[in-house]
Structure 1
């Protein structure tokens, strides 16, 4: 069994395709297929089900997968430890950002990291906070910007980087617009326009509504906050937005402070508290902690 075979096996599993795995590994597809077949012959069992439109693991493949990950992780860790001993930062940084994140200059942060550590390959993924937290816990991610509510995520270190009040944004002719604030309970029966679950604003809203004993009546979701403004500006519902963003569109919408309780959108830099960081991961956390402001 060779490390290269395990690398190809893992790539096929994650990409669910021999073609995409070959492109990811920068080799020809027949080479990937040949190495996987060789591994299967050596182990005496078929690891991948190739009959469907997407490649799937067999029972034997599922059994091998965690051991393959552990073996490759151990080899990578050994190489990185030696690089760290030599004063180098190399390897790969796998970072994540929560869906719809617009309040953190992620592109600038990654560009700064690349200029400082040009030998590090950077991979970025966007997902819900729950998915990102799971990736941090199982080692698929080095660091991530995730939404956090009132309950700290288990098994993770966090550093708060965004803490913004949420407001209800309505058209000027809406009856709510006459006041400067609105109680959360008064939004219980109103159609709400929100960012998707897992975003900072949505996490704050969902937790507050749960504590108040009702489920928010979310009728429209969009990952782009500008789309929320467009929808609310057509009178299609009440947009729940971070206060700074809502104020920047004050010509179209009236932002009302949500009270009883006041709710906030929070985003934090997160990394594992249960496994040692790779040199690249630690370097990114250090840089992000220095660059990103603390609210």
Structure 2
């Protein structure tokens, strides 16, 4: 007997019809019948009681059915195991990351993955978080490190950093003496922030919408350094994450936003229908980023959530 015969046998048993089984396995009815007859000869017993209306299992057929299913499942598992090994020998892994990212754990994960699976071709590209998310959904990227207000729907995610919003203003600014502010306090000042499509902007926009605040967006820039320079020159209140402000303590005052709502997230995202290379890379990311999303990972601060 061979696997093809077992496949046809299971199809007839489940469909209770040679005609429907033939359509299911995409061959002629006579072909299915011939293979089942050959299987019955090899087993020395009839597997079906045939009538014009249905094909029903005999006692021997019922005894054989679960074993046939198990054999097909085992064969499928062999194929999957070989496919996964092959994918980790000569596959590909396309990784995306937010623009300007210099997070050491991501690069450590890439290096560890490459050391373990040198046959997998790696690619790495930068873009804004919304673009990266769509490319993961579309399959153009296998996995991406994004900034977001919440994990994207329909994708699996690993949160590696969770931080509240903070403002950065020069020492002489009216908000500099405040221990903390509310979003409505920001509305009275020009704001400099990242453009739409970035994680920080998504968090800021959502918080303002929930509080009924309409901020005055004066200037936009895609890099935290640029936002800090603009704020230091008095051109607006910079909207950053809490850890970002630490890099500019020599010229800007950080002011927490108490009603900013949900924190800004930095997350690794991938499609649920992922392959072995993605699973292996995510495993390395879990190790290098650590289990605590509240702890700032090693690497240059102020370079995330784009």
* TM range, smaller chain: 0.5 to 0.7
CA distance 1:131–1:248, shift in 2 (3 Å)? closer
Q: What is the total number of aligned residue pairs between the two structures?
A: 214
Any idea what SS the aligned residue of 1:155 has? coil
In structure 2, the CA distance between the partners of 1:261 and 1:195, relative to structure 1 (3 Å rule), is closer
Q: 1:220 matched to which residue of 2?
A: 219
Spell out, residue by residue over 1:37-67, the C-alpha distance to the aligned partner (whole angstroms, 9 max, x if none): xxxxxxxxxxxxxxxxxxxxxxxxxxxxxxx
**2:98 counterpart residue number:** 98
Asked whether the equivalents of residues 156 and 272 of structure 1 are also in contact (C-alpha less than 8 Å), the reply is: yes
The whole-number CA distance in structure 2 between the counterparts of 1:121 and 1:209 is 43
Question: What is the distance in 2 between the residues matched to 1:145 and 1:109?
Answer: 12
Measured in 2, the distance between the counterparts of 1:263 and 1:191 equals 23
1:131 equivalent to 2:131? Answer yes
Q: Distance in 1 between matches of 2:85 and 2:119?
A: 16
Please give the residue correspondences for 1:86-125 in structure 2 after superposition, counting only pairs within 5 Å. 88-102=88-102, 105-125=105-125
Task: Give the distance between the partners of 1:249 and 1:219, measured in 2 at CA.
Answer: 20
For structure 2, list consecutive stretches of 5 or more residues without a partner in the other structure. Answer: 1-78, 294-306
CA radius of gyration, larger in: 2
Q: Which residue of 2 aligns with 1:231?
A: 230
Q: Report Cα offsets for 1:231-287 as digits up to 9, x if no partner.
A: 1111111111111221232120110011124552211111112x2x22222211121
Q: Does 1:140 align with 2:140?
A: yes
Residue of structure 2 in register with 1:190 after alignment: 189
Deviations 1:95-148 (A, max 9, x none): 111234455643333223222221111111222222222222222211111222
TM (norm. structure 1) is: 0.66
1:280/1:192 Cα in 2 relative to 1: closer, same or farther (>3 Å)? Answer: same
1:86, CA displacement in angstroms? 5.9
Residue 275 (structure 2) aligns with: 278
Look up the SS of the partner of 2:161 in the other structure: strand
Shift of 1:85: 4.3
Aligned to 1:288: 285
Q: Closer, same or farther in 2 for the Cα pair 1:86/1:252, shift >3 Å?
A: closer
Q: Give the SS at the match of 2:175.
A: helix
Deviations 1:174-202 (A, max 9, x none): 11111111111111232111123233322
In structure 1, stretches of 5+ residues that fail to align are: 1-78
Residue 37 of structure 1 aligns with which residue? none
Separation (CA, whole Å) in 2 of partners of 1:224 and 1:114 = 29
